[in-house]
Amino acid sequence: MAGIRFGQVDYLNTLPVYHAFEEGQVSFAGELIKSPPVLQDKMFLEGQLEVSLISSITYARNTDNCLILPNVSVSADGPVQSILLFSHVPVTELDRKVVNLTVSSVTSRALLKVLFDHYYHVEAKLCTMAPNLEQMMTKGDGALLVGNDAMRAHVKVKRQGLPYHVTDLGEVWKQFTGERMVYALWIVRKDFAKEHPDEVNALCSALLEAKKYSAVNLPALLEKGRHRTGLPLEVVEEYYRIINNEFTADHRRALLTYYDYCYKSGLIEERVRLSVWGETDI
Ligand X SMILES: C=C(O[C@@H]1C=C(C(=O)O)C=C[C@H]1O)C(=O)O
Beta carbon nearer to ligand X, 87 or 148: 148
Q: Does 59 bind ligand X (CB under 6 A)?
A: no
Amino acid sitting at position 173: W
Binder of ligand X out of 35, 73, 107, 167 (CB under 6 A):
107
Contact characters 139-168, ligand X, x per CB under 6 A: -------xx---------------------
Contact characters 228-267, ligand X, x per CB under 6 A: ----------------------------------------
Binder of ligand X out of 6, 11, 192, 277 (CB under 6 A):
11
Q: Does 108 bind ligand X (CB under 6 A)?
A: yes
Q: Does 9 bind ligand X (CB under 6 A)?
A: yes
Binder of ligand X out of 6, 7, 8, 13 (CB under 6 A):
13
Binder of ligand X out of 72, 83, 193, 262 (CB under 6 A):
83
Residues that bind ligand X (CB under 6 A): 9, 11, 13-14, 37, 55, 74, 80, 82-83, 105-108, 146-147, 183-184
